[in-house]
């Protein structure tokens, strides 16, 4: 008579973080944000960059001076507007146009969508060159690269 060996494995238990632990993490994040805003203010007052601000030793929670430099240049936390190819309005109008074409059974393939994106960028570049009193919508580095190569490498993956 053969017996089957049965092994009972203990279930893996996730370590529960307590409310106190969560509060400590939250306080650390808030302290870093406060020190970051203080470092930016220090740089603006003393006309310096992030490296000089961190050399003072007043901001021990900030490890990388490049983060201070990014904040000084206007790139805020979590927003990557400087990397976008299309603005929010242009993207919304493009999505609306593609949806309407699909409803009319005239769907666009990737090449047609790419050409449409390049046309939008050419229009924005032309409007930026005109001397008028409208607001200037600067092309991002990715948008400039798209215009130079005449192809849109990263297909729309949003929405």
Q: What is the pLDDT of residue 93?
A: 93
Q: What is the pLDDT of residue 83?
A: 75
Q: How far is the C-alpha of 122 from the C-alpha of 105, rounded, in Å?
A: 27
Q: What is the pLDDT of residue 39?
A: 94
pLDDT band at 159 (very low <50, low <70, confident <90, very high): very low
Q: What is the pLDDT of residue 47?
A: 92
Mean pLDDT of the residues in the chain: 81
Question: What tokens does 117 get?
Answer: 């994106």
Q: How far is the C-alpha of 27 from the C-alpha of 18, rounded, in Å?
A: 14
Residues 2-26 have pLDDT tens digits of 555 555 555 555 556 677 777 888 8
**Angle subtended at Cα 103 by Cα 105 and Cα 120, rounded to the nearest 5 degrees:** 95
Three-class SS of residue 79? coil
Residue 78: left (phi > 0), alpha (psi -120 to 50), or beta? left
Quote the DSSP letter at residue 81: G
Residues 90-114 have pLDDT tens digits of 989 999 999 999 999 998 898 899 8
Q: How far is the C-alpha of 39 from the C-alpha of 57, rounded, in Å?
A: 11
């Amino acid at each position: 008579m053969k017996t089957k060996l049965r092994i009972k494995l203990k279930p893996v238990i996730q370590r529960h973080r307590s409310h106190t632990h969560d509060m400590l993490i939250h306080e650390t994040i808030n302290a870093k944000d406060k020190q970051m805003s203080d470092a930016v203010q220090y740089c603006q007052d003393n006309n310096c960059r992030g490296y000089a601000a961190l050399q003072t030793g007043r901001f021990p929670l900030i490890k990388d001076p490049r983060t201070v430099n990014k904040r000084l240049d206007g790139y805020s936390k979590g927003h990557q507007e400087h990397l976008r190819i299309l603005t929010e309005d242009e993207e919304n109008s493009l999505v609306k146009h593609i949806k309407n074409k699909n409803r009319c059974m005239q769907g666009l393939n990737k090449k047609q969508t790419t050409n449409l994106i390049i046309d939008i960028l050419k229009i924005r570049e032309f409007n930026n060159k005109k001397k008028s009193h409208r607001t200037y919508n600067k092309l991002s580095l990715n948008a400039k690269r798209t215009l130079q190569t005449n192809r849109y490498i990263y297909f729309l993956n949003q929405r």
